[in-house]
Structure 1
Amino acid sequence: MKILVDVKDEKATSLLEVLKGLSFVTAKPLTESKAKFLEDVKEAVEEMKLVKAGKLKARPAKELLDEL
């Protein structure tokens, strides 16, 4: 199982040391760009769920492509 944990910078080193001490855990920090990418993907998935539930209106694909 993979778990993403958000930790304050000043506490991250301590937590990583604890996690590295556990034989059943593999821990490695994410770069800022990868963390941002994951947050963006999570937001997009949540928006799609809202669109499918009819709680949010989707934009036409043509409008999106014209924006690019």
Structure 2
Amino acid sequence: MKVLLDIKDNKAAFVMSLLQRLPFVKAKPLSPFQSKVLEDMTEAVEQMHLVKTGKLSARDAEDLFDEL
């Protein structure tokens, strides 16, 4: 099982040291870039879910390309 934790910066070293002491846990920090990509992807998946359930309206792809 994989678990993502959001830890305050001033407590991260402490929590990482605790996790690394557990023989059944593999812990590695994400880089700022990896963290941002993961957040963006999570947000995109949540928005797609809202579109599929009808709680959010989708945007036409042509309109998006016209903006670019």
Instruction: Give the percent of matched residue pairs that are identical in Structure 1 and Structure 2.
Output: 56
Q: CA RMSD in A?
A: 0.9
Structure 1, gaps ≥5 residues long: none
> Structure 2-normalised TM-score?
0.92
Q: Where do 4+ consecutive residues of structure 1 move more than 4 Å?
A: none
> How do 1:1-68 residues align onto structure 2 when only pairs under 5 Å count?
1-68=1-68
Give the residue type in structure 1 aligned to 2:26: T
Question: Equivalents in 1 of 2:65, 2:25: separation in Å?
Answer: 42
Equivalenced residues, count: 68
Q: Secondary structure at the match of 2:7?
A: coil
Note the C-alpha offset of 1:67.
3.1
Question: Equivalents in 1 of 2:63, 2:32: separation in Å?
Answer: 30
